[in-house]
């Protein structure tokens, strides 16, 4: 009899979990971003390996593999690099003034483009902050 009660409890738990998932989907906004139902906690435990959310860990793993692949492809030319003999004959002298000018010019220009990109995405295209969140 106790086994039947335990089995019934597991079935009820599965039904509640399925209902919770349906409620989450019902509260998704128009852009298709999944949001938790009001009053529900996000499905993000402290330890991602113990995630009760099916599929969540696979997407993070796919992201890591894609980033790794893109980086590896960009570095494929390094073994085929040819260096002039004159560059190998003696150590090169670095100009600290040139490096300083490079940092002072490209640093702010890079930050300006970052701010401009986020302004266009948030204000002009109407993208919400949830799109910038991973996972």
Give the integer Cα–Cα distance in Å for 55 and 84.
Answer: 51
Cα→Cα distances 16→21, 22, 62, 113, 124, Å: 9, 10, 30, 47, 41
* Residue 23 predicted with pLDDT over 80: no
* Residue 39 predicted with pLDDT over 60: no
pTM: 0.39
Q: Are 16 and 10 a contacting pair, CB within 8 Å?
A: no
User: Residue 26 has what pLDDT?
Assistant: 54
Q: Tell me which H or E stretch contains 57.
A: helix 56-74
Cα→Cα distances 18→12, 51, 100, 125, Å: 10, 16, 59, 35
Contacts of 63 (CB under 8 A, 6+ apart): 134
**pLDDT: which is higher, 60 or 47:** 60
Q: With bands split at pLDDT 50, 70 and 90, how would you rate the model's confidence at 42?
A: low
Q: With bands split at pLDDT 50, 70 and 90, how would you rate the model's confidence at 31?
A: very low
Work out the mean pLDDT of the chain and round it to a whole number.
Answer: 75
Give the integer Cα–Cα distance in Å for 60 and 48.
Answer: 10
């Amino acid at each position: 009899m106790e086994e039947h009660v335990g089995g019934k409890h597991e079935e009820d738990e599965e039904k509640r979990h399925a209902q919770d998932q349906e409620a989450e989907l019902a509260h998704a906004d128009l852009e298709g971003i999944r949001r938790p139902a009001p009053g529900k906690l996000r499905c993000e435990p402290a330890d991602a390996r113990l995630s009760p959310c099916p599929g969540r860990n696979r997407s993070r793993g796919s992201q890591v593999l894609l980033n790794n692949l893109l980086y590896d492809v960009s570095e494929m030319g390094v073994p085929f690099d040819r260096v002039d003999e004159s560059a190998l004959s003696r150590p090169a002298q670095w100009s600290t003034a040139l490096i300083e000018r490079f940092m002072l010019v490209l640093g702010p220009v890079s930050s300006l483009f970052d701010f401009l990109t986020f302004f266009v995405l948030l204000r002009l295209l109407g993208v919400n902050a949830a799109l910038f969140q991973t996972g």
